[in-house]
Amino acid sequence: MMRKTSVILLSAATGAALTLFVTQPRAVFMGSSARAATADTYRQLNLFGDVFERVRSDYVEKPDDTKLIESAISGMLTGLDPHSSYMDAKSFRDMQVQTRGEFGGLGIEVTMEDGLIKVVSPIDDTPASRAGIMANDIITNLDEEAVQGLTLNQAVEKMRGPVNTKIKLKIIRKGQDNPIDVTLVRDNIRVRSVRARIEADDIGYIRITTFNEQTTEGLKREVASLSNQIGDKLKGYIIDLRNNPGGLLEEAVTVSDSFLEKGEIVSTRGRNAEETQRRTAHAGDLTKGKPVIVLVNGGSASASEIVAGALQDHKRATIVGTRSFGKGSVQTIIPLGSGNGALRLTTARYYTPSGKSIQAKGIVPDIEVLQDVPDELKSRTDTKGEASLRGHLKNDGDEKTGSQSYIPPDAKDDKALKLADDLLHGIKNSASAAPTPGSDNKGTTDKPKAAN
């Protein structure tokens, strides 16, 4: 069977596109054992057909044939591993929107509170910000329809739509006696996966929340802005990947490449040896050799672990925090034709430059920092990790479960951030600390080891 186009992704939670590739059909010659296996497969397919017909004819209520088939496909894929799954047409469209990081909408970050939609913040230069929508506004109605009773996803879907179309919002704002009616025209919205600020007057802090098609460009933009604002007193950069579930492998590669001059970034290895692919860095360090600290925790997964692993193996950055999630597999999105959704299928494992698989083990930080967790949150701030997922791909050696994923809401209480500040200011030292300006940070030229 020929797979014409497939999209590869990395994510611990939701999928995201990576690379298009074409595989050529191969002639297959079967011996007697292969023919016997094929015959057994057909017998099993006949069994499936028998069960399907019995359900259709005898179930207490008339079933939906489409849902039966989709459920059967979903069961087949989820039985493989935790990250293989079937996406119906709507789920596939949602994944594509998330992958692009761009959609028609209003530009509001929202959450659900007491059954209503609460504005977290409007995104700069969007219909929402231009209309004066404010953080903590409560949205009660969308086009005269009450929000009460809708899920957060349903409400978000209603606010999104084609560019240049209108939607009316009814808003309750603290301090206002009467609801506010606002009519907005949807525009093209880009999700900000990269945010930055100046830390301690001379450090560039950059938080990457996901790896979508906008991430590398966002990183470049923020590095340039921080460099211009801070100037010659810039000590270095903190890259915060905590609780980043992953996303596009291609973006993980280009983000890693932004800090490296040369060397392997990651390799992916499928079932067949000829499918091994290696990605290498190109000359040009975006930060011009400035020291880099990378923050990770139990919620840092997949594409985040590729970046942390590449910079750690090349000794380009000091990794600070707690052990990462441990998702070391690659998923390929295989469209099933118009209106039929797609498969998300695990097709490869990935390896760090030193040839290490982090599957079910995670990235171990150079410096472990445990946060002070409030008593009421202590039972809810650890991530069990990949090794705890039923049916996960096994790895050689001891697998690791459980890692702290709590981030204090107030930066002054963030012990990992404080240590990163101290390292960049030279207050504390580490044997694996980030290189100082002017040092040789071009990355190791050692040949990566083959994984067992």
- 178 plus 307 within the same structural domain: no
Active-site residue, 315 included: no
Structure tokens at 10: 């990395």
Whose tokens are 């705890």? That residue is: 388
- 169 plus 213 within the same structural domain: no
Return the CATH number at 159: 2.30.42.10
Active-site residue, 302 included: yes
How many C-alpha atoms does 168 have within 13 Å on its Cβ side? Answer: 8
Active-site residue, 327 included: yes
What pLDDT is attached to residue 8?
58
Domain boundary among 141, 175, 190: 190
- 247 plus 177 within the same structural domain: no
The catalytic position among 302, 304, 329, 403 is: 302
Whose tokens are 């030193």? That residue is: 354
Domain assignment present for residue 229? The answer is yes
Return the CATH number at 215: 3.90.226.10
Domain assignment present for residue 1? The answer is no
The catalytic position among 235, 327, 361, 400 is: 327
- 136 plus 227 within the same structural domain: no
Domain assignment present for residue 435? The answer is no
- 175 plus 219 within the same structural domain: no
Main-chain dihedrals φ then ψ at residue 334, nearest 5 degrees: -115, 105
Domain boundary among 175, 190, 205: 190
Domain boundary among 190, 218, 248: 190
Structure tokens at 247: 């996303």
- 299 plus 396 within the same structural domain: yes
Domain assignment present for residue 91? The answer is no
What pLDDT is attached to residue 370?
96
What pLDDT is attached to residue 69?
92
- 167 plus 293 within the same structural domain: no
Structure tokens at 140: 């009660």
**Ranges of the chain whose pLDDT falls below 50:** 1-5, 13-28, 431-452
Number of domains in the chain: 2
Domain assignment present for residue 52? The answer is no
Which residue, among 107, 99, 108, 120, has the nearest Cα to 10 in the 3D structure?
99
Whose tokens are 């596109």? That residue is: 17
Domain assignment present for residue 418? The answer is yes
Domain assignment present for residue 219? The answer is yes
Whose tokens are 């702290």? That residue is: 404
- 162 plus 208 within the same structural domain: no
Contact 191, 216 (CB under 8 A): no
The catalytic position among 313, 366, 414, 421 is: 313
Whose tokens are 């080891």? That residue is: 449
- 198 plus 325 within the same structural domain: yes
What pLDDT is attached to residue 227?
97
What are the residues whose beta carbons fall under 8 Å from the beta carbon of 109, sequence distance 6 or more?
119, 120, 121, 122, 123
- 236 plus 316 within the same structural domain: yes
pTM here is 0.79
Contact 356, 314 (CB under 8 A): no
Domain assignment present for residue 93? The answer is no
> 107: domain range?
103-190
Which residue, among 113, 140, 128, has the nearest Cα to 186 in the 3D structure?
128
The crossing angle, in degrees rounded to 10, of helices 215-230 and 249-257 is 30
- 266 plus 232 within the same structural domain: yes
Which residue, among 432, 333, 269, has the nearest Cα to 8 in the 3D structure?
333
What pLDDT is attached to residue 15?
35
> What letter represents residue 385's amino acid?
G
Whose tokens are 């074409």? That residue is: 22
Hey, CA dihedral for 92, 97, 103, 108, is it positive or negative?
positive
- 127 plus 203 within the same structural domain: no
